[in-house]
Amino acid sequence: MLAVPVQAQIIIAHRGASGERPEHTLAAYELAIEQGADYIEPDLVPTKDGVLVARHENEISGTTDIALRPEFASRKATKTIDGKEVTGWFTEDFTLAELLTLRARERLPEVRPQNVKFDGLYPVPTFAEVAALAKAKKVGIYPELKHPAYFSSIGMDTPDLLLAALRQEGLDGADAQVFIQCFEVGPLKRMRALTPLKLVQLIAAGGGPADVPGKRYADMMSDAGLRDVATYADAVGIDMALLGDDPNQAAATVARAKAAGLAVHVWTLRRENRFLPVAFRRGSDPDAPGDFAGAWRVMSFVGVDGVFTDNPGEVP
């Protein structure tokens, strides 16, 4: 264990307490709040009638029972999303009333078999429901816009939908406990002019933003890249892998981002060995819990301001 005090870093419940309940359900968010999450995170995609709902992808066969519903079989489709061909059922092809008839399922039944007993219990929540829950329980909300360039290409303006929904909930003032995150650049730049809410540029370990061909996430992590991000965002949300295995090196990376004027949030800490950095795995079962607390303490040591986790109940 590191001999350093655990500094205050916000606990961001990644899709809710998704290590213990099917992700993106009110049950997952409620449990996360009980467990002490500071923020709850919904990924957002729109319905056919323009309502944002909490799902990680617009293709929903992995997290709902839609593939078992004969009345929707004919809506199976193949689409190209951010340059990748995807086959399944897409939120933008269903009205909210239709989506509300579905029930959520555990995304990782083989890794998290203990969660399968919750399959079929919970509907897909709207963003408004998740935001209202956060407001009622006095925690923050950390929405992510998924694939805004794709949705713009089919005539759906998801940044506008998000800002309108936040306004509707009274979560649009500078002091609201809200971070808006996106992997794309254009929507963040546009929202900078429209809202005082905090904006977060997500940075993956590889590739680049879907809306800026040729731009690489690796370049965003250079000093010049970080300074550029700071012109339109308040924080970076970076893949933990970008910090590497050496805590001193990781601390230097975090310090460079902070020197550019950015807060640093990292994703995603999960308790199962398969998802933990190698140094924190325990035993040979990839699905058994590893040293989550040790990994959390390292995030503290390196100075990050927030950590996305599937397991807020495990935070030391």
How far apart are CB 97 and Ca ion at their closest, in Å?
26
How far apart are CB 308 and ligand G3P at their closest, in Å?
5
- By CB under 6 A, is residue 9 in contact with ligand G3P? no
How far apart are CB 252 and Ca ion at their closest, in Å?
26
How far apart are CB 259 and Ca ion at their closest, in Å?
26
d(CA 223, CA 228): 9
Cβ-based nearer residue to ligand G3P, 63 or 268: 268
- By CB under 6 A, is residue 179 in contact with ligand G3P? no
d(CA 238, CA 233): 13
* Minimal CB distance residue for ligand G3P: 267
**Interface of this chain with Ca ion, residues 19 to 58, rule: CB under 5 A:** 43
**b/e burial code for range 151-187 (CB count within 10 A of at least 16 → b):** bbeeebbbbebbbebbeebebbeeebbbbbbbbbbbb
- By CB under 6 A, is residue 45 in contact with ligand G3P? no
The answer to whether 14 is a known catalytic residue is yes
Query: Applying CB under 6 A, which of residues 275, 280, 301, 308 lies at the interface with ligand G3P?
Result: 308
Catalytic residue among 14, 24, 147, 265: 14
Token pair in block for residue 96: 């909210």
Strand (E) or helix (H) holding 53: strand 52-54
The answer to whether 147 is a known catalytic residue is no
- By CB under 5 A, is residue 310 in contact with Ca ion? no
Classify residue 264 as left (phi > 0), alpha (psi -120 to 50) or beta. beta
Query: Applying CB under 6 A, which of residues 39, 90, 267, 292 lies at the interface with ligand G3P?
Result: 267
Query: Applying CB under 6 A, which of residues 38, 43, 272, 314 lies at the interface with ligand G3P?
Result: 43
DSSP state of 75: G
Cβ-based nearer residue to Ca ion, 147 or 297: 147
d(CA 167, CA 226): 30
Classify residue 222 as left (phi > 0), alpha (psi -120 to 50) or beta. beta
Query: Applying CB under 5 A, which of residues 144, 184, 211, 291 lies at the interface with Ca ion?
Result: 144
d(CA 115, CA 103): 14
CB 158 within 8 A of CB 47: no
Catalytic residue among 24, 56, 147, 265: 56
How far apart are CB 296 and Ca ion at their closest, in Å?
19
Q: What, of ligand G3P, Ca ion, none, does residue 292 touch, CB below 5 to 8 Å by kind? A: none
Collapsed DSSP state (helix, strand, coil) of residue 199: strand
Amino acid of residue 102: L
Chain CA centroid to CA 264, Å: 15
- By CB under 6 A, is residue 275 in contact with ligand G3P? no
Catalytic residue set: 14, 56
| Residues at the site binding ligand G3P, with contacts judged by CB under 6 A | 14, 43, 56, 144, 181, 202, 237, 267-268, 308
